[in-house]
Chain A
Amino acid sequence: MPSLREVQIRFSAAVLATDGTAPAFARGDAATAAERMAIYRRTIRSNYRNALGATYPVLKRLLGMRLFNAAVDAYVEAEPSRSGDLNVYGDAFDDFLARYAPAAEWPWLPDVARLEWAIDEASRAQDSTAEPDVVLGALTVLPADKLPGLTLKLDPSCRLIASAFPLLRIWQVNQPDHGGETNVDWSAGRDHLRVRRERPGAAIDGVAIERLPAGDFAFLSALVGSALGEAIERAQDADAQFDLSTALHGFIGDGTIAGIGDTM
C-alpha cells in the first residue's frame, strides 16, 4: 500500500492533470473517478479567479473577464500558492503580467497590478501608532551632527509606486463609481504615488492614493532602507527645489513618517 505522502503526491498530480485519465488511487470505476477529480480542478480554478478578481478589480475590468481568467489560470500554474491564507496570494502578478504575452500590448498593466497589490497590502497592514508631536519632539532634541545618519520609519501601510504611465488616472477612470470623462492623457508623464491607509478615526476608513512631487517621492522612497542624509541627496537629485523642512513637517504631520529608527 502506498504511503499517505505518496497518495497525497498522486492526488495533487491528478488535480493538475487534464488528460482525463483516472487516478490509480481512486475507488470505483475509472470514468467516474476522472469526472469527479475534475470537480476539484474546477473548484480550485474558480477560487483563484475569484480571489485575484477581488484583489485586482481594475485589471479585471481592463482585461475583460475572459482574458483576466486566462491570465489568472496561467499565473497559478507559473506561481502556485504556497500559503494556506488565500488573502496573501497574488503578490507576483505584476511581474507575471510583464512577461505574459497576451497582455504585451498594454505595457501599463504590471503597474496597475502593483498599485492594486499596494492597496491590498495597505488595507491589511499593521495599525500605525505614530503621534506626530512625539516624532517631531524626538527629532528636535537630536544633535545636528546625528541627523544625516538617522533612519526614519514610515507608516506600515505606506507604499510608494512610480510609473512611466498616468497610473492614477487609469485607476480612477476604472472605478465602478467613476462618473464623467474616461479619457486618459497618455502624454501626462510619470506618476509618483503614495498609497496609504487613512489614519484610524479619519472620515474614510479606507486606502488613499495620492500623487507626490518627484522630490518628495524620492525622499520617502530613500527612507526605506537609507538614512536621512542619503534621502535628502536623492530628493535633491530628483528635484532641485526640494525643501527638507516642508517635507519633514508635512510627512510627520500627516503620519507618513511614523517614527524614528536607529542611527546608521
Chain B
Amino acid sequence: MTPGQALPVAAGIGLRAPHVGYVKAQRPPVAWFEVHSENYFAEGGPAIASLERIRADYPLSLHGVGLSLGSTDPLSRAHLAKLASLIARVEPALVSEHLSWSGVGGRHFNDLFPLPCTDEAVAHVCSRVAEVQDILGRVIAVENVSSYVGFADSDIAEWEFVAAVVARTGCKLLLDVNNVYVNAVNHGFDAETYLAAMPGDAVAEIHLAGFDARGPCLIDTHGARVAPEVWALYRSAIERFGARPTLIEWDVDIPEFSVLETEALAATTILESRDAIAA
C-alpha cells in the first residue's frame, strides 16, 4: 500500500458491490478505483475487509454522497467520525464530496440537491468545506453536481459559484464533465464557458458517466455509456487543464465489468493523446 500519494493520472473505475468479488479475485489491470465512502462505514465484516484487500493492490479515492455539505443543518459529527475512521483505515489518495445538500430540519432525502448560486450560499459552503477540512485534517475535493431546477434567486453563474468555493477554501475540484454537460443542456448555457472558468490547477479528478435523455430534461442517472457530446467536452477539458485522473461512474443497471473497462480505455485514449500533444 502506498499512502499519501496522489491518484495516478490515468483512468480509474468506480467500484460497486457487484464487481467487488471479481476485482478481488482477478485483480484486473485498472489504474485506480473509487468507492462511495458510506458503503464502507461498517465497523467490520466482509465489505470493509474486501476493500482493504483491494486497497493493498490499487490506489483508492473515497467519494462521499451523504455528508450534505451545503445543508443549513449542522454538519453530522457522527458521519464525519465514520469518514475519518475509514480514511485512517484505507489511506485514500483523495477524499471528495458534492457541492450539494441532501435535507434540512433533520430529514435526509439521500439525494444530491442543488444550491442556489448566491453569495450567501458561497459563504455557507466555504465555511462548511473549511470545517470538514479542519476536522479531517486534510484537503478535500468538491464536485459540481447536476441539477434539473434552477433558482430564481441565483445571481451568479454556477461556474462562478464553483470557482469561488475553490478559490476561497483552497480545496481541490472534482470536475464532473457529464454534470457540466447535463446542466448546460438543462439550464441553457455554453459548457465551454463553464470549463473556461474552472481553476485548472485545482482539478484533482474528473468524473465521466452516462445520462438519460428520455425525460423532460437530461437526467444524470449514471446508468449508461458516456455520451459522445460528453466525450467531446472531456477532450476539451483535458486540452485546457492537461491530463487528470479520470473516473468512469456507473450506478444503476450496472453492466459487466468489461463494459467499464472499455469506457476507461476510451478515457485513456484521450488522456494519452493529450500526453502526445504535450510531448
User: Which residues of A come within 8 Å of B, CB atoms?
Assistant: 1-5, 7-9, 11-12, 15, 23-28, 32-33, 35-37, 39-40, 43-44, 47-48, 51, 80-89, 122-127, 156-157, 197, 200, 205-206
Contacts and interface: CB of A to CB of B under 8 A. Distances in A.
Interface in B6-52: 38-39, 41-47, 49
B194 interface: no
A167 to B, nearest CB: 23
12 contacts: A7-B116, A8-B71, A11-B113, A12-B104, A36-B186, A39-B216, A40-B109, A40-B113, A82-B108, A84-B68, A88-B41, A156-B44
Given A5-B72, A40-B111, A84 B118 contact: no
Contacts of B66: 83-86
A167 B219 CA distance: 42
B217 interface: yes
A123 B149 contact: no
Contacts of A23: 149
Interface string B51-66: 0000000000000011
A156 B108 CA distance: 28
B153 interface: yes
Contact of B101 (A8, A85, A122, A206): A8
Nearest to B221: A43
Nearest to B67: A84
A44 B148 contact: no
A85 B39 CA distance: 8
B44 A125 contact: yes
B120 A3 contact: yes
Contact of B149 (A26, A81, A82): A26
| Interface residue SS majority, chain B | loop
A39 B82 contact: no
A5 B217 contact: no
Contacts of B116: 4, 7, 25
A84 B228 CA distance: 33
Report the 4 A-B pairs with minimum CB-CB distance, sorted nearest first: A84-B66, A124-B42, A127-B44, A27-B150
Contact of B150 (A26, A87, A200): A26
B110 interface: yes
Given A32-B216, A123-B45, 9 more contacts: A7-B151, A7-B153, A12-B104, A25-B116, A26-B152, A40-B113, A84-B102, A86-B38, A197-B45
B138 interface: no
B149 to A, nearest CB: 5
Contact of B43 (A35, A124, A206): A124
Contacts of A27: 149-152, 154
Interface in B84-107: 101-107
A23 to B, nearest CB: 8
Contact of A82 (B67, B101, B107, B217): B107
B124 interface: yes
A95 to B, nearest CB: 19
Interface string B197-229: 000000000000000000111010000000000
User: In this complex, which of B44, B105, B219 has the most chain A Cβ atoms within 10 angstroms of its Cβ?
Assistant: B44
B106 to A, nearest CB: 6
Name the residue among B44, B45, B66 with the largest chain A CB count within 10 angstroms: B45
Nearest to A83: B108
A84 B76 contact: yes
Contacts of B191: none
B136 to A, nearest CB: 15
B153 A39 contact: no
Nearest to A11: B113
Contact of B110 (A8, A9, A48, A156): A48
